[in-house]
Structure 1
Amino acid sequence: MPGQIQVHYQPLYTADTNRMAGVEALARWSHAERGWVAPDLFVPLAEKTGLIDQLGDLVLRKACLDAVSLPIDTLAVNVSALQLNNPSFAMKMTSILLEAQMDPRRLELEVTESTLSERPTECQRNIKALRSIAVRFAVDDFGTGFSSLGRLPTLDVDRIKIDRSFVQGFGRCNGEEAIVQAIIDMARVTGLNTTAEGVETQSQCDFLRKLGCDQLQGFLLSKPVPKEELQNLLEGRSRRVSA
């Protein structure tokens, strides 16, 4: 991958108090000739070429080193099934946390529901090992694919991330509001926290708050930013759209 892989951070805000409670670390590729390359292009490329472990390790290490000194509760990082099926993943993750001197309880790894639903594999063993040291897990993009409300009580996770497609569908008479309400209600009953992705309008923000969503994330609140801009946001030196 010619060019430079950078890590940007998209804030996660509490819905009730509007406080930045955490960030999601996102890989960004600045290509030497093409400029910025979209993640939905280079991440599948990394998976096909066998570079996903190298890319994932880079993002995890940089994010943990950056986040250890930030006044936030949670660092969320996406990990793929390919990474989790590496027998050494839990050991490498533990090593990164020790190197960064970061409390494992602050780390939240985002995985897909299909990854959690696999039969006993290296993936499941890695998840069990990391949960034993208090690393948290979240289901990313919940509501897409084979996601089912009935499966929520069986998922060994701490948070549900509601897919942006439901949030962006508010007001279109397709029942998205009822679906999101059902997800939030079921999550609350099973003791899980919820984060809504893709919040882009004030009306979406207000409605999600009324529904009882725990956290909000989206361009209305902040786009993904480099660490320097994130520090400005945390210190109140950079303007953010009011929620």
Structure 2
Amino acid sequence: MSSWDHLRTELDLWQSEGRIATAWWRDDDAVTVTPELEAILAFEQHYNVPLALAVVPADLQNDLVERLVETVDTRVLQHGWSHKNHMPVGRKKQELDDVRDIGDVVSDLRHGFSVLKSRFGSRFLPVIVPPWNRVAEDVVASLQSLGFFGISTFNPRASAEPYQGLLQVNTHVDVIDWRGTRGFAGEDVVLGAMVAHLVARRTGQVDDLEPTGILTHHMVHDKGTTKFLDNLFSMEHSALNWLKIPGVFPWQ
């Protein structure tokens, strides 16, 4: 069986149980309009797969604001402040860190929130996407006081609400091989991760209410990535439902 056959077989099992496998799409590192960004916006429009675009506030360009006005379902999430690493040598990259004074980190986030809210209005959802999917615990504890109602990182969530009123919805399937080619990770790897999360949800190994999240980074997409996304988003199955982003974070 091909990897696509494995995915369809898993979705068939969801269907046989009368269940719907919910999924969502998050793309990181947006700051300006590029051919790569246009490619994913075309997928969103053509296949009706809503996109959550994690935008870096410090580097936001006017053309991105103007371009997203033309879209229907795209929503903006906050991708840190400047996507700068503050960790010392030997520690994994992190912007929302435990090295600086918490006041400095909070100040950055507050500034970024203000920028995105003023530029995107209701298209901006108060959800923080930590750069590199890493965030210090004391920063998470401060998010509600800044106006955030959601957080999104990577891997199955341990809790739907790490703090009361703060909803966590993560991604689980990364299409990029960051530790190797830094290009497309390959159909077997990517679809294997998608099926694994769907199986874990269906069998109760992880939170079955957390939708399966696809993570992309448009600026590093190669031909293999683009072809895969085309195939994934064009695949139809009655047990697979791509959620609108306000439905992923449903306090709206």
Q: TM-score, normalised by structure 2?
A: 0.45
Between 1 and 2, higher relative CO (CA 8 Å, sep ≥ 6) is seen in 2
Report which of the two has the higher share of strand: 1
Q: TM-score, normalised by structure 1?
A: 0.47
